[in-house]
Structure 1
Amino acid sequence: MEATGYELGSGLGIALFGVFMASVYANTIELPSSLTPALGSQAARSISDSIVVAQGLATHQADALIRAAKAAFSTTHSILLTTAATLIALLSVVVFLMLGRHPGKAGTNA
């Protein structure tokens, strides 16, 4: 039961943070104006899709797209790490408060 719970938590965490990261990336990437809407839509999905799109562009367009993808990925990564740290801190406070209410043994003098 413990292993199943651990695997379920890992899978859900990866899925939720993956969706969160993809959403933030799509909202933070500043695509070059010369990109067609179809290519822009594909490039906004992920950094790997941005690289695939860049491989089919002229050098100056590809460089601009790669710079935008790197900047968006860096921003996304920072936001994800800050969100994870905040969730862990909040969980720590909740656990601390819940354990503070639990009646434990008072210190004993041996």
Structure 2
Amino acid sequence: MNNFKDFNIKPKITSFVGDKIKMERIINVPIVVHDFKIGESIMKSGTKCLTLQIEKNGSRHIIFTSSKILIQQIKEVPKSNFPFSTTIIKDNEYFEFT
């Protein structure tokens, strides 16, 4: 009889892991962005929500934001360039990757 562990099937992680962290806690701090998804916001109807899987100081976290600039910028990053390091800054009234 076969044993499952002999199949060498690894789980495919499709959800983000880690504690939710507020954007204010990562402003001007180096982070690594591992993945993202964009969907409809549950907080404000008719707007988009960006979910980021990040790493800060060796720990994984999740960030939710409706920042149009961050959404615009991350859409332009090819999936082949993930993960990448960045710093999110607040420039006047909006957030941006640097």
Q: TM-score, normalization: structure 2?
A: 0.23
Would you tell me which structure has more helix in proportion to its own residues?
Answer: 1
Considering only CA atoms, is the larger Rg found in Structure 1 or Structure 2? Answer: 1
Report 1 or 2 for greater relative contact order, CA contacts < 8 Å, sequence distance ≥ 6: 2
More strand by share: 2
